[in-house]
Amino acid sequence: MHSSLADAAAALARAGEAVDAAAWRGAEAVGIGVDDAGDIRAVCIVYGGEIVYERVAAGLQLLPQDQHDDVIRVCRFQAWSSWRAQRAGAVAMTP
């Protein structure tokens, strides 16, 4: 009986650690999307399930509207994809 209780306690501890790790990933996930890592002109940041920052350089405003919109959509897609991957644990993170 004693080993069954110890096994149950160990299983409960492992389950608690898994829940804590999942909560940490969800709370700390940050998704970032940029148009060009070498020459950033647009950036989008997702935190807590919402876009918390989005900026576009003035030069991008000169693009035709459809191209401008495409750049914004790509940044948003990258940011959301990165955020979701972190929440799912697909991206290695260090606390």
* Inter-residue contact 33 to 82 (CB < 8 Å): yes
Q: At what angle do helices 2-28 and 65-88 cross, to 10 degrees?
A: 160
C-alpha 40/C-alpha 15 separation (Å) is: 42
Q: Tokens 């501890």 — which residue?
A: 13
72 contacts: CB under 8 Å, gap ≥ 6: 42, 44, 54, 56
pTM: 0.67
Class of domain 2-88: alpha beta
Lowest mean pLDDT among 24-28, 65-69, 76-80: 24-28
Q: Is the pLDDT of residue 1 over 50?
A: no
Could you report the per-residue pLDDT of 31-54, keeping only the tens digit for each? 899 888 888 888 999 988 899 999
Q: Is the pLDDT of residue 95 over 50?
A: no
> Of all helices (H) and strands (E), which one includes residue 30?
strand 30-34
- Residue boundaries of the structural domains of the chain: 2-88
